[in-house]
Amino acid sequence: MHRSGATAHASNGSRASEPDAHSANGARAVDVTLANNARSTGQERFPVLEIFGPTVQGEGRVIGRKTLFVRTAGCDYACAWCDSAFTWDGSAKDEIERLDAAQIVERLAELGGEAFAHVTLSGGNPALLPGLGELIDVLHARGAEVALETQGSRWQDWFVRIDQLTLSPKPPSSGMETDWARLDDILSRLEGGGGGGEWSLKVVVFDEIDLDYAIRVHERYPDVSFYVQPGNADLTEPEPARMLSTLAVQYEALVQRIMDEPRLQRVSVLPQLHTWLWGNKRGV
């Protein structure tokens, strides 16, 4: 997911900890209270950390697409290499704003102009917000397409209204465990949901164990569009130019490995485009 600088203004709010059901060792606490407390009550207010853009989508099915980002707070995972840990570890809790759909759209219009056409909902895990369908409907009413990425740990009925939905189950290097029954259920509901959107699977690969996991995902869901990308192992390097050569080598190695793998055929191998352009810079 894109890294960004905060464009939302600070408002104070407390976030409590919730034990994680998906952690490989079970020993962690994640700040998800703001997300879990969100319920549909008319003009619902969502926990928003950042609204930024225009930029290009850096990953997955709509890579390179001009878009604006809305990043929500809260996650039910705590991936070891998460590039947006500030959404759940409490370090940015004072930056969270509670915004309703109209306020979010107003911010987007300020950034992208009245004619913005594509919005990406990111996190954290925006699938923790059952009332997010309200925002999706408002964006559609303005003529904007909506993309969203989630790890596939929660179902929401509004999934079928997303134009481009990416399910990104996390590989072993993340420290998380996949609930395969839950992922099966989500994909089954999408297939039978009657929505007009597209959905796809994406797996980040850091090592051979992750690649084996990607093969397992693809073999389990062979008819779902599948994207694989190398992970960014250095989240602290400030200079994009110094990162680029390393990222290119990693990408080339993954491409070659997948070209040699007969079990990965209907697969797209993509870089994290935003890291190639801007490295770990936030606000782009």
Q: What is the pLDDT of residues 27-43, one digit of tens each?
A: 333 444 444 444 444 57
Structural contact between residues 11 and 96, judged by C-beta atoms closer than 8 angstroms? yes
Residue 213 lies in a domain: no
Residue 7 lies in a domain: no
Q: How confident is the model at residue 216 (pLDDT cuts 50, 70, 90)?
A: very high
Each residue of 248-264: b (16+ CB within 10 Å) or e?
A: eebbeebeebbeeeeeb
Assigned token pair, 270: 């993509």
Structural contact between residues 84 and 29, judged by C-beta atoms closer than 8 angstroms? no
DSSP of 180-218: HHHHHHHHHHHHHS----EEEEEEEESSHHHHHHHHHHH
- For residue 118, give its domain range: 17-203
- Binding residue numbers for substrate: 56-58, 71, 122
Residue 282 lies in a domain: no
Residue 252 lies in a domain: no
CATH number at residue 143: 3.20.20
- Of 84-93, 118-127, 213-222, 255-264, the poorest mean pLDDT is in 84-93
Residue 180 lies in a domain: yes
Secondary structure (3-state) at 251: helix
81 DSSP 8-state letter = T
Report the pLDDT value the prediction gives residue 272, as an integer from 0 to 100: 81
- Binding residue numbers: 56-58, 71, 75, 79, 81-84, 122, 124, 168-170
The torsion of the CA quartet 284, 11, 121, 230, rounded to 10 degrees, works out to 50
Measured distance CA(85)–CA(64) in Å, rounded:
24
Long-range contacts of 276-279 (CB under 8 A, 24+ apart): 276/240, 276/244, 276/247, 276/248, 277/56, 277/58, 277/240, 278/240, 279/237, 279/238, 279/239, 279/240, 279/241, 279/242, 279/243, 279/244
Residue 190 lies in a domain: yes
Q: pTM of this prediction?
A: 0.81
Q: What are phi and psi of 40, to 5 degrees?
A: -70, 110
- Binding residue numbers for [4Fe-4S] cluster: 75, 79, 82
Residue 209 lies in a domain: no
Report the pLDDT value the prediction gives residue 26, as an integer from 0 to 100: 38
Asked if residue 24 has pLDDT above 70, the reply is: no
Is the peptide bond between 13 and the residue preceding it cis, with omega within 30 degrees of 0?
no
Q: How confident is the model at residue 235 (pLDDT cuts 50, 70, 90)?
A: low
Asked if residue 237 has pLDDT above 90, the reply is: no
| Closest by CA position to 76, among listed 66, 65, 87 | 87
Residue 250 lies in a domain: no
Report the pLDDT value the prediction gives residue 137, as an integer from 0 to 100: 98
Q: How many domains does the chain have?
A: 1
Report the pLDDT value the prediction gives residue 39, as an integer from 0 to 100: 45
